[in-house]
Amino acid sequence: MIIVKLAGGLGNQLFQYALGRVLSIKNNTSLKMDTSAFDHIAKGDTKRSYELNVFNIKASIATKDEINDLNRIVKVRYLLQRYLGINLNPFHSLHVLEKSYNFQKEILNLGDSVYLDGYWQSEKYFKGISNVIRKDFTFIEVPNNKNARLLKQISGTNSVSIHVRRGDYVSSTVTIKFHGITAVEFYQKAAKIIRKQINKPSYFIFSDDIVWCQENFTFLPNVTFINHNHGDKSYEDLRLMSNCRHNIISNSSFSWWGAWLNDNPGKIVIAPKKWFNDPAFDIRDIIPKCWIKI
């Protein structure tokens, strides 16, 4: 059994599931998701909830007994190694805590009794089964009438999604210190690149602060502001973004997935080089090589 700890918003949960899915397929075992982190919130953090139920995923929620049983296996294994010197397979029965944001190739060698605790934000973990992941991340329900009309509009133009993440990036001192905010200048440079390569682009702007966007994106023509998919319907923005032909993303795992799930073979994806506020973080494995970083 593979158990993956879910934490953060929808984008983070997609990354966490994707690695768990890779290991469950490799080891021909079941995949379970530990959602207990959503029952607690640290001071300054944003309240989150389980959001993968809208997709055709191949996993179920882990029970407390299943989590405890796996932890007991991990503990017994540790005791056998430390006190009896029994050399067990180093890739089996582990509680694996992510050490950095870099791709850790050895993670893919893990066995069939593993608890994964981290964010795992790299396509390199699941690139080998990208078709499976895309199928798992198809939506169970069809879009409502308003989103269906937008999908038709998106498919009929040289559509470019722009995602602007503000929300807790602005309101939470903890979050803004860690992530920072993607400046308007980034979007201006990205739009300039798009204009040089795309004939008559139509921009679709997605944000948790659409009023701010309306005030600050006056430099763009042919703009549609999306401001109706709130709360437990926010995944609809992901569907819309992934159906645009091209994507300009913010330093957000949510818009990262909007771009990655876009299956246009000729897509242009533009991402900010500054993904975290702290320049010490190495992000070379977060942004796929074929995407443009500015």
Residue 133 has pLDDT above 70, yes or no: yes
> Token digits for 11?
């984008």
pLDDT digits (tens, 9 = 90+) for 52-88: 999 999 999 999 999 988 887 766 666 555 555 555 5
Which tokens hold the place of 80?
A: 């056998």
Please provide the DSSP assignment of 163-178 as one string. EE--THHHH-HHHHHH
pLDDT for the residue 209: 93
**What is the band of 171 on the pLDDT scale with cuts at 50, 70, 90?**
very low
- Judged by phi (left if over 0) then psi (alpha if -120 to 50, else beta), residue 85 lies in left
Higher pLDDT, 213 or 180: 213
Give CA–CA dist 120/128, Å, rounded: 15
**CA dist 6 → 10, 62, 80, 244 (Å):** 10, 11, 29, 28
Instruction: Please state whether 155 falls in left (phi above 0), alpha (psi between -120 and 50) or beta.
Output: alpha
Pairwise pLDDT comparison (171 vs 174), residue with the higher score: 174
- Position 241 pLDDT exceeds 80: yes
Instruction: Give the mean pLDDT of the chain.
Output: 89
Under the banding of pLDDT at 50, 70 and 90, the label for residue 44 is low
- Comparing 119 with 280, which gets the higher pLDDT? 119
- Say whether pLDDT at 170 is over 70: no
Dump pLDDT digits (tens) for 136-163: 999 999 999 999 999 999 999 999 999 9
